[in-house]
Amino acid sequence: MVRSLSSSPLLGLGAFLVLAVSSVVLLLSPVHAGTFPSPLRQRFVNATAIDACRSIRFTSKDSRLDYGLVSALGVWLSFYMTSSAQPPTCLVKPATPEDLAAVVKVVGQKRINFAVTSGGHTGNPGFSSTNGILISMKGFQRVVLSNDKSYVDIGTGNIWDNVYQVLEGSGVNINGGRVSGVGLGGFITSGGGFSWLTNQLGLTVDTLQQFSIVLPDGSHQTVTPSSNPDLFWAVKGGGNQFGIVYDVRLATKAQSKQVWGGLKTYTFDQIPAIVNATAAFDVKNEDPKAQIIPTFNFFLGQPGVSLLAFYDGENPPAGTFDMFDSARPFTADWKARGFTDLVRSAPSNATAGHRGAFHTVSLTSYSQSLIEFIVAELNHYGSIGWQHSAFFLSYDVEPFLDYPSKPAAWKHDNSPKPLNIYFAWDSPLDDAFWRKEIVATADRITQKARDEGQKLDGLLLYPNYAIDSTPIDRIYDAASRQRLRSIKARIDPTNVMGLTTFFKF
């Protein structure tokens, strides 16, 4: 793959730091600020936002507030896609609910643009980034298993890796993220969470027992399904529009000491065999403990497949994954192992640190011809990617069984089976191209599935995968939108959370 110098990620970092440094220089020397051309001044020095940062008062010594270069570097390093990072006016890391509430009160009273980030894994610029006040949840890091082991209380500043690490060997597990590095806050609030246990337990939010939240008025409370049924429902997929969730309680399930699975990779010549085997798995597998994610990808000028497999037990029954035996792997690492090791063996970090976007299709099944169509889409973009600074192009096939569900703002009672499309590239000049094409490819795959007879009308798109330009009625149905709006009007009458960005229901 041809990659020109101007599209290297390091130069991207350079440009980002120039933005940050100019804001510091201007901050420190107001006299010189006057000599900068006014568009620069407006862009980099926002007196209103700086005054708001300065007025934040923390009571805990563990809470932090950083400006300029320190905050910009912290931000650059904490986002999965660099296109979702932006240098903020200040970066705050409250460590207590009271200090988090103090920030919410300042942004609400002074009407300051802000964003909330937990794990920084969204592909939508602005959803967890801002040039105003950035609230990082990294100060909320507890993971506490209850004495009777029936639930775990978890701070939303954690990544799932931390939770599995604490539970390893305890005999119980929770229904959370599948790969390394993903945050809890967005996973739960902005979609609901597809897991290795989804066939058995539904989404992560289907195992949510309670959460603690700072509300838009700056008060905080713990919410259960009975204490506030509306808010409990709204937070399960309504995103950052109802307040900032700082703690969640998830139900546990019994977990064997070891599970089975890991990664196999395949070169392009094995793609037809993997396509067949994936379609066969989708038809034949009836064991909810067995799941796979084949990712058809284009990387370093070649198509290939990464195949993650999982079995909830030390040994899958004979026949479970046999359909994949006819394909010859390039690397093979399927084995019995601890759950943490399984999650951390996924190569998710290898494709971080570039510009990128996610988008999605919700399907009822994965036929062989549909997967062949997806591979043809991949090969098309692979062949032109070098002209548009492509780094990695991928289609994640997620052939779940029908899974359990509870009512939630993101409705999933008809078991949508997502396709996750991830395009990563390096030049900001190619943002518009890839953001348009990721929608175009999803639309063609949707049409192909309809042509094959799939009934997709009631199947909604997963907000944690959908690109920000997605029409809202493809994410929430009319009844959910109506209920979201009325709960929002009650909980946030002055629209404080409208000062940050999410899908507009």
Ligand X SMILES: *[C@@H]1O[C@H](CO)[C@@H](O)[C@H](O)[C@H]1NC(C)=O
Ligand Y SMILES: Cc1cc2nc3c(=O)[nH]c(=O)nc-3n(C[C@H](O)[C@H](O)[C@H](O)COP(=O)(O)OP(=O)(O)OC[C@H]3O[C@@H](n4cnc5c(N)ncnc54)[C@H](O)[C@@H]3O)c2cc1C
Q: Is 128 in the site for ligand X (CB under 6 A)?
A: no
- Which of 298, 299, 366, 502 is close enough to bind ligand Y by CB under 6 A? 502
Q: Is 48 in the site for ligand X (CB under 6 A)?
A: yes
- Which of 63, 175, 240, 252 is close enough to bind ligand Y by CB under 6 A? 240
Q: Which DSSP state fits 47? A: H
Q: Is 101 in the site for ligand X (CB under 6 A)?
A: no
Q: Which is nearer to ligand Y, 162 or 369 (CB)?
A: 162
Which two tokens mark 392?
Answer: 């990695």
Min dist CB 55 to ligand X, Å, is: 13
Q: Which of 247, 225, 228 is nearest to 152 (CA)?
A: 247
Residue 186 contacts which entry, ligand Y, ligand X, none (Cβ below 5-8 A, type-dependent): ligand Y
> How does strand 133-136 pair with strand 114-117?
parallel
Q: Which is nearer to ligand Y, 119 or 448 (CB)?
A: 119
Q: Which is nearer to ligand Y, 274 or 343 (CB)?
A: 343
Q: Is 113 in the site for ligand X (CB under 6 A)?
A: yes
3-state secondary structure of 234: helix
Residue 367 contacts which entry, ligand Y, ligand X, none (Cβ below 5-8 A, type-dependent): none
- Which of 273, 336, 401, 456 is close enough to bind ligand X by CB under 6 A? 273
Are 401 and 312 in contact by the 8 Å Cβ rule? The answer is: no
Residue 137 contacts which entry, ligand Y, ligand X, none (Cβ below 5-8 A, type-dependent): ligand Y
- Which of 58, 76, 127, 425 is close enough to bind ligand Y by CB under 6 A? 127
- Which of 178, 236, 354, 412 is close enough to bind ligand Y by CB under 6 A? 178
The angle formed by the CA atoms of residues 20, 24 and 27, to the nearest 5 degrees, is 135
Rounded Cα distance between 23 and 247, Å, is: 34
Rounded Cα distance between 112 and 115, Å, is: 10
Burial track 194-222 (b if 16+ CB lie within 10 A, e otherwise): bbbbbbbbbbbbbbbebbbbbbbbbebee
Rounded Cα distance between 7 and 17, Å, is: 16
Which two tokens mark 400?
Answer: 């779940």
What end-to-end distance do the CA atoms of the chain give, in Å?
40
Q: Name the one range near ligand Y by CB under 6 A: 122-130, 261-269, 333-341, 431-439.
A: 122-130
Cα–Cα separations (whole angstroms), residue 326 to 266, 396, 496:
12, 21, 56
Site string for ligand Y, 454-473 (x = CB under 6 A): ----------x---------
Q: Is 46 in the site for ligand X (CB under 6 A)?
A: yes
Q: Is 475 in the site for ligand Y (CB under 6 A)?
A: no
Cα–Cα separations (whole angstroms), residue 235 to 208, 238, 411:
11, 5, 12
Are 343 and 164 in contact by the 8 Å Cβ rule? The answer is: yes
Q: Which is nearer to ligand X, 446 or 500 (CB)?
A: 500
Q: Which is nearer to ligand X, 113 or 129 (CB)?
A: 113
Rounded Cα distance between 337 and 495, Å, is: 47
Q: Which of residues 54-113 bind ligand Y (CB under 6 A)?
A: 80
Q: Which of 214, 208, 250, 203 is nearest to 232 (CA)?
A: 208
Q: Is 197 in the site for ligand Y (CB under 6 A)?
A: no
CA–chain centroid gap for 188, Å, is 9
Min dist CB 329 to ligand Y, Å, is: 22
Min dist CB 46 to ligand X, Å, is: 4
Q: Is 112 in the site for ligand X (CB under 6 A)?
A: yes
Helix axes of 68-78 and 9-28: crossing angle, nearest 10 degrees:
150
Residue 132 contacts which entry, ligand Y, ligand X, none (Cβ below 5-8 A, type-dependent): ligand X
Q: Is 176 in the site for ligand X (CB under 6 A)?
A: no
> How does strand 90-93 pair with strand 133-136?
parallel
Residues 6 or more apart whose Cβ sits within 8 Å of residue 253: 172, 173, 174, 175, 197, 200, 201
Q: Which of 163, 91, 79 is nearest to 424 (CA)?
A: 79
Residue 130 contacts which entry, ligand Y, ligand X, none (Cβ below 5-8 A, type-dependent): none
Phi then psi for residue 253, to 5 deg, are -130, 155
Size of the site for ligand Y (CB under 6 A): 33
Q: Which is nearer to ligand Y, 373 or 423 (CB)?
A: 423
Q: Which is nearer to ligand Y, 45 or 90 (CB)?
A: 90
Min dist CB 274 to ligand X, Å, is: 9
Burial track 64-73 (b if 16+ CB lie within 10 A, e otherwise): bbbbbeebbb
Q: Is 393 in the site for ligand Y (CB under 6 A)?
A: no
Residue 189 contacts which entry, ligand Y, ligand X, none (Cβ below 5-8 A, type-dependent): ligand Y
Rounded Cα distance between 166 and 344, Å, is: 14
Q: Is 109 in the site for ligand X (CB under 6 A)?
A: no
Q: Which residues bind ligand X (CB under 6 A)?
A: 42, 46, 48-49, 112-113, 132, 159, 161, 180-181, 272-273, 276, 344, 349
Q: Which residues bind ligand Y (CB under 6 A)?
A: 80, 115-122, 127-128, 137, 156, 177-179, 182-183, 185-187, 189-191, 193-194, 239-240, 244-245, 348, 464, 502
